[in-house]
Amino acid sequence: MPLKMPHNPLLIGVYPGTFDPVTFGHMDIISRALPLLDKLVIGVAENAGKGPLFSLEERIEILKTEIKSLPNPEEKEISILGFNNLLVQFAETQKARVLVRGLRPVSDFEYEFQMAGTNRKLAPHIETLFLMASEPYQLIASRFVKDVARLGGELSSFVSPEVGIRVREKYN
Ligand code: ADP
Protein backbone atom coordinates (compact mmCIF):
# COMPACT_ATOMS: atom_id res chain seq x y z
CA MET A 1 0.00 0.00 0.00
CA PRO A 2 1.48 3.39 -0.90
CA LEU A 3 2.19 5.65 2.02
CA LYS A 4 -0.67 8.11 2.51
CA MET A 5 0.59 11.58 3.16
CA PRO A 6 -1.45 13.84 5.41
CA HIS A 7 -3.17 16.35 3.15
CA ASN A 8 -1.55 19.76 3.14
CA PRO A 9 -3.55 22.31 1.16
CA LEU A 10 -0.46 24.44 0.53
CA LEU A 11 2.01 23.48 -2.17
CA ILE A 12 5.39 24.07 -0.59
CA GLY A 13 8.63 23.74 -2.54
CA VAL A 14 12.20 23.52 -1.30
CA TYR A 15 14.94 24.94 -3.52
CA PRO A 16 18.15 23.46 -2.15
CA GLY A 17 21.66 24.54 -2.97
CA THR A 18 24.98 25.73 -1.64
CA PHE A 19 24.50 29.31 -2.90
CA ASP A 20 28.20 30.09 -2.47
CA PRO A 21 27.41 32.80 -3.51
CA VAL A 22 23.91 33.30 -4.93
CA THR A 23 24.06 34.23 -8.64
CA PHE A 24 21.67 35.61 -11.28
CA GLY A 25 21.10 31.96 -12.29
CA HIS A 26 19.81 31.05 -8.81
CA MET A 27 17.67 34.20 -8.66
CA ASP A 28 16.13 33.34 -12.03
CA ILE A 29 15.13 29.87 -10.77
CA ILE A 30 13.70 31.40 -7.58
CA SER A 31 11.62 33.96 -9.47
CA ARG A 32 10.28 31.31 -11.88
CA ALA A 33 9.48 28.77 -9.14
CA LEU A 34 7.63 31.30 -7.00
CA PRO A 35 4.45 31.61 -9.15
CA LEU A 36 4.12 27.80 -9.24
CA LEU A 37 4.05 27.35 -5.47
CA ASP A 38 2.21 28.65 -2.43
CA LYS A 39 5.43 28.91 -0.46
CA LEU A 40 9.11 28.58 -1.35
CA VAL A 41 11.73 27.47 1.14
CA ILE A 42 15.28 28.18 0.02
CA GLY A 43 17.35 25.50 1.71
CA VAL A 44 20.98 26.51 2.13
CA ALA A 45 23.09 23.38 2.46
CA GLU A 46 25.85 23.71 5.02
CA ASN A 47 28.03 21.57 2.70
CA ALA A 48 31.17 21.83 4.80
CA GLY A 49 32.72 19.11 2.60
CA LYS A 50 32.66 21.47 -0.39
CA GLY A 51 34.73 24.03 1.57
CA PRO A 52 32.43 26.97 0.86
CA LEU A 53 33.90 30.49 0.59
CA PHE A 54 31.06 31.95 2.68
CA SER A 55 29.88 30.53 6.00
CA LEU A 56 26.34 29.22 6.19
CA GLU A 57 25.30 32.37 8.10
CA GLU A 58 26.85 34.62 5.44
CA ARG A 59 25.18 32.74 2.57
CA ILE A 60 21.79 33.03 4.30
CA GLU A 61 22.32 36.74 5.02
CA ILE A 62 23.33 37.45 1.39
CA LEU A 63 20.30 35.54 0.09
CA LYS A 64 17.99 37.47 2.43
CA THR A 65 19.30 40.76 1.03
CA GLU A 66 18.96 39.57 -2.59
CA ILE A 67 15.40 38.34 -2.02
CA LYS A 68 14.35 41.82 -0.86
CA SER A 69 14.80 43.14 -4.41
CA LEU A 70 13.05 40.19 -6.09
CA PRO A 71 9.69 41.03 -7.69
CA ASN A 72 7.04 39.09 -5.77
CA PRO A 73 3.73 40.51 -7.03
CA GLU A 74 1.61 37.82 -5.37
CA GLU A 75 3.51 38.30 -2.11
CA LYS A 76 4.30 34.61 -1.87
CA GLU A 77 5.95 33.46 1.33
CA ILE A 78 9.69 32.83 0.99
CA SER A 79 11.82 31.50 3.80
CA ILE A 80 15.56 30.96 3.80
CA LEU A 81 16.84 28.24 6.10
CA GLY A 82 20.11 26.38 6.54
CA PHE A 83 20.17 22.60 6.71
CA ASN A 84 22.75 19.90 7.23
CA ASN A 85 20.60 16.78 7.20
CA LEU A 86 19.31 14.66 4.34
CA LEU A 87 17.51 16.85 1.80
CA VAL A 88 14.29 14.80 1.82
CA GLN A 89 14.24 14.90 5.63
CA PHE A 90 14.63 18.67 5.52
CA ALA A 91 11.85 18.86 2.90
CA GLU A 92 9.59 16.75 5.11
CA THR A 93 10.14 18.99 8.11
CA GLN A 94 9.09 21.89 5.86
CA LYS A 95 6.00 19.92 4.66
CA ALA A 96 7.26 20.33 1.09
CA ARG A 97 5.94 18.16 -1.74
CA VAL A 98 8.29 19.59 -4.36
CA LEU A 99 12.05 19.93 -4.70
CA VAL A 100 13.06 22.65 -7.16
CA ARG A 101 16.30 22.33 -9.11
CA GLY A 102 17.78 24.33 -11.94
CA LEU A 103 19.20 22.48 -14.94
CA ARG A 104 22.03 23.97 -16.96
CA PRO A 105 22.79 22.40 -20.33
CA VAL A 106 24.64 19.10 -20.32
CA SER A 107 26.83 19.44 -17.22
CA ASP A 108 24.05 19.28 -14.59
CA PHE A 109 22.05 16.47 -16.13
CA GLU A 110 23.75 13.31 -14.90
CA TYR A 111 24.20 14.47 -11.32
CA GLU A 112 20.67 15.86 -11.12
CA PHE A 113 19.20 12.72 -12.69
CA GLN A 114 20.91 10.53 -10.08
CA MET A 115 20.00 12.82 -7.21
CA ALA A 116 16.34 12.99 -8.25
CA GLY A 117 16.24 9.18 -8.52
CA THR A 118 17.84 8.75 -5.09
CA ASN A 119 15.45 11.22 -3.50
CA ARG A 120 12.51 9.51 -5.18
CA LYS A 121 13.53 6.17 -3.65
CA LEU A 122 13.87 7.78 -0.22
CA ALA A 123 10.65 9.79 -0.43
CA PRO A 124 8.37 8.78 -3.34
CA HIS A 125 5.75 11.36 -2.33
CA ILE A 126 8.17 14.25 -3.00
CA GLU A 127 8.61 15.20 -6.65
CA THR A 128 11.63 16.98 -8.15
CA LEU A 129 10.72 19.84 -10.45
CA PHE A 130 13.41 20.91 -12.92
CA LEU A 131 13.47 24.36 -14.41
CA MET A 132 15.74 24.74 -17.42
CA ALA A 133 18.32 27.48 -16.99
CA SER A 134 17.25 30.62 -18.85
CA GLU A 135 19.37 31.45 -21.86
CA PRO A 136 21.24 34.48 -20.43
CA TYR A 137 22.22 32.59 -17.26
CA GLN A 138 23.06 29.14 -18.59
CA LEU A 139 26.78 29.53 -18.16
CA ILE A 140 26.72 31.05 -14.69
CA ALA A 141 28.08 28.89 -11.87
CA SER A 142 29.08 29.97 -8.33
CA ARG A 143 32.38 28.13 -8.83
CA PHE A 144 33.34 30.31 -11.82
CA VAL A 145 32.23 33.47 -10.04
CA LYS A 146 34.80 32.67 -7.34
CA ASP A 147 37.51 31.88 -9.90
CA VAL A 148 36.86 35.14 -11.78
CA ALA A 149 36.85 37.16 -8.52
CA ARG A 150 40.07 35.57 -7.33
CA LEU A 151 41.76 36.60 -10.56
CA GLY A 152 40.33 40.13 -10.46
CA GLY A 153 37.79 39.81 -13.30
CA GLU A 154 34.51 41.64 -13.81
CA LEU A 155 31.55 40.04 -11.99
CA SER A 156 28.64 42.18 -13.13
CA SER A 157 27.28 39.61 -15.63
CA PHE A 158 27.01 36.94 -12.96
CA VAL A 159 26.03 38.44 -9.61
CA SER A 160 24.47 41.63 -8.21
CA PRO A 161 26.81 44.52 -7.31
CA GLU A 162 26.27 43.77 -3.58
CA VAL A 163 27.23 40.11 -4.00
CA GLY A 164 30.20 41.18 -6.13
CA ILE A 165 31.47 43.38 -3.29
CA ARG A 166 31.10 40.55 -0.78
CA VAL A 167 33.01 38.12 -3.02
CA ARG A 168 35.81 40.60 -3.65
CA GLU A 169 36.16 41.29 0.08
CA LYS A 170 36.90 37.61 0.59
CA TYR A 171 39.84 37.71 -1.80
CA ASN A 172 41.29 41.02 -0.63
P1 ADP B 1 24.68 22.51 -5.45
O2 ADP B 1 25.83 22.48 -4.52
O3 ADP B 1 23.47 21.75 -4.99
O4 ADP B 1 25.01 22.28 -6.90
P5 ADP B 1 24.29 25.24 -6.25
O6 ADP B 1 24.15 26.40 -5.34
O7 ADP B 1 25.50 25.19 -7.11
O8 ADP B 1 24.19 24.01 -5.31
O9 ADP B 1 23.03 25.10 -7.16
C10 ADP B 1 21.73 24.92 -6.63
C11 ADP B 1 20.77 24.63 -7.75
O12 ADP B 1 20.71 25.75 -8.61
C13 ADP B 1 21.14 23.45 -8.63
O14 ADP B 1 19.94 22.81 -9.04
C15 ADP B 1 21.83 24.08 -9.79
O16 ADP B 1 21.74 23.27 -10.95
C17 ADP B 1 21.01 25.34 -9.94
N18 ADP B 1 21.75 26.39 -10.63
C19 ADP B 1 22.95 26.90 -10.31
N20 ADP B 1 23.34 27.85 -11.19
C21 ADP B 1 22.33 27.93 -12.10
C22 ADP B 1 22.10 28.71 -13.29
N23 ADP B 1 23.03 29.55 -13.75
N24 ADP B 1 20.94 28.54 -13.96
C25 ADP B 1 20.03 27.65 -13.52
N26 ADP B 1 20.17 26.87 -12.43
C27 ADP B 1 21.31 27.00 -11.73
pLDDT digits (tens, 9 = 90+) for 98-150: 999 999 998 899 999 999 999 999 999 999 999 999 999 999 999 999 999 99
Q: Has residue 3 got a pLDDT over 60?
A: no
Nearest to 26 by CA among 66, 69, 83: 66
120 is catalytic: no
CA distance 58 to 56: 5
Average pLDDT along the chain: 94
Q: Which domains does the chain have, with CATH numbers?
A: 12-171 (3.40.50.620)
Pocket test for ligand 1, best of 83, 99, 104, 131 (most atoms within 8 A of CB): 104
Which pLDDT band, with edges at 50, 70 and 90, does 164 fall under? very high
Which pLDDT band, with edges at 50, 70 and 90, does 88 fall under? very high
Q: What average pLDDT does this structure show over 57-64?
A: 98
Alpha helices by DSSP H, listed for the chain, are 24-33, 56-68, 87-93, 109-122, 142-150, 161-171
Burial of 58 (C-beta count, 10 Å sphere; 0-12/13-18/19+)? middle
Q: What are the pocket residues of ligand 1 if the criterion is a CB atom closer than 6 Å to any ligand atom? A: 17-19, 23, 25-26, 29, 101-102, 104, 108, 133, 137, 140-142
Q: Which of 26, 59, 146, 166 is catalytic?
A: 26
Q: Which of 104, 120, 134, 157 is catalytic?
A: 104
Structure confidence at residue 6 (pLDDT): 59
CA distance 66 to 74: 18
